[in-house]
Structure 1
């Protein structure tokens, strides 16, 4: 992957994180990236997610925790934006 594209795509992900949850720290960006990819895979290949979840139940629990955290951050961000 070309460095310029990688930097530009990273900027897109940072802006997405900022708009989604109100911040774009490295940690938040990584969580949002994992959540977005997981969500896409779950919609396009649910059998793969079921297989992965059976193989790695601890990772599935961690993903559930991340999804919940992102949902909470998004709700907080939307509430603060409405004020």
Structure 2
């Protein structure tokens, strides 16, 4: 793959992590990748997501934990932004 593209796409992921969670750590960027890919699969191929969930209970629990963490961080970030605007 083109190195320039890879760097530009990684920058997109970092910005996405920042906008959604306020955290740009490599660990959070990796969680955002998982969150985004699983979210896309769940919406566009629900039968595949359901099958995977049924056969990978530990993986399903980890995805759920990541989704809840991203959600909680996003809500906290929005609350902080609302407080700062007032």
Q: TM-score, normalised by structure 2?
A: 0.94
How do 1:1-83 residues align onto structure 2 when only pairs under 5 Å count?
A: 1-83=1-83
Distance 1:77 1:29 in 2: 16
Runs of 4+ deviating beyond 6 Å: none
Q: Deviations over 1:10-66 (max 9, x none)?
A: 000000100101111000000011001000000000000011111111100010011
Q: TM-score, normalised by structure 1?
A: 0.97
Figure out how many residues of one structure are paired with residues of the other and give that number: 83
Shift of 1:68: 0.4
Unaligned runs of 5+ in 1: none
Distance 2:49 2:64 in 1: 12
Shift of 1:82: 1.1
